[in-house]
Structure 1
């Protein structure tokens, strides 16, 4: 799949050989948060220009969901939209697979775009421990954009798990 990218195309569609991918929303600008829809969760990235994103990805593609909670080794990558989309299972290429979603701008002032891009590119190649609750891809990109990492996905899981989550953490000796 090849993405045709125009830096000046802030509105309208971005096209691949197989179909529309931007859903008619705004084309990303440098420093924007990019949300990829996946079955049951979202993956997050930062747009750095030229049709590329920076994101936190598993080092080994053969991870299992238990590792999301216990932690696994991940790496910061700079990739094209299509390379990131290839990691999304069960999503037809003719469907929208990402959107610009700077949803936290109302509560936290973002850094200037060039500062965000510079910080994101400085992280490329670094290995980090990933875990869903404290250091996931959303924490990573919000940390770059706002200076503090946070994640609605992690907050939702904590809320749903209630006291069970605290008990598991204490038993495992994690995050406390």
Structure 2
């Protein structure tokens, strides 16, 4: 092992719940109680991330401030993860070309200490991370939640139409 490789200094390598070691530019998905927090791995055990919606790193936090300004931080990955499970999840690599790792890291480092608008639907920590990796801000969590919401709304609407049709049919008899 050469001295620039992770673990060469005698430290244990940092690995996710699948045993994989992150590389600079990788997206990190942290499983919180009611949502997933996202960060970008920038090397040497650090991530850059948009602070969570309630301003804390606690694994017991819940979303209670969906809109506002939040800070971009650079912190130790294991500090951000705390006791939560996490994985490397470069979720759009099959359909989008990731930017070069050095560009992702450079852009992430430039944003450290800045304040960004936060909106749980329009621009959250996942949007922030995917924008750094792919140049395009997307949130699968939001898309999935909207699909579920639309599905529930659609099912409710369909049920209402059926009930209305039955009422109309019964009153014509």
- TM (norm. structure 2) is 0.72
| Unaligned segments of structure 2, at least 5 residues | 154-173
Which residue of 1 is the match for residue 73 of structure 2?
Answer: 77
What whole-Å deviation, never above 9, does each CA across 1:43-80 have from its counterpart, x for those lacking one?
11000000000000047439973422xx0221100000
The Cα RMSD (Å) is 2.7
Gaps of at least 5 residues in structure 1 are 1-5, 16-20, 87-92, 166-176
- Would you say the 8 A contact 1:46–1:141 is kept in 2? yes
Q: What per-residue deviation string (whole Å, max 9, x for no partner) do you get for residues 59-103 of structure 1?
A: 7439973422xx0221100000122123xxxxxx4xx62111111
Does the C-alpha gap of structure 1 residues 26 and 164 become closer, same or farther in structure 2, counting only changes over 3 Å?
closer
Q: Which has the larger radius of gyration?
A: 2
Moved over 6 A (4+): none
| Aligned twin of 2:97 | 109
Deviation at 1:164, TM superposition (A): 9.7
Match of 1:130 in 2: 118
Measured in 1, the distance between the counterparts of 2:33 and 2:140 equals 16
Q: Using the alignment, how far apart are the partners of 1:72 and 1:150 within structure 2?
A: 18
1:151 matched to 2:146? The reply is no
Shift of 1:154: 0.7
SS in 1 for 2:65: helix
Q: Secondary structure at the match of 1:82?
A: helix
| 3-state SS of paired residue (1:158) | helix
1:39 corresponding residue in structure 2: 33
Match of residue 20 from structure 2: 26
Please report the TM-score for the alignment, with normalisation by the length of structure 1.
0.71
Flag the 1:163–1:23 CA change in 2: closer, same or farther, 3 A.
Answer: closer
Number of aligned positions between the proteins: 142
- Aligned runs of 1:42-53 on 2, under 5 Å? 42-53=36-47
Closer, same or farther in 2 for the Cα pair 1:8/1:83, shift >3 Å?
closer
Asked if structure 2 preserves the Cα contact closer than 8 Å seen for 1:7 and 1:49, the reply is no
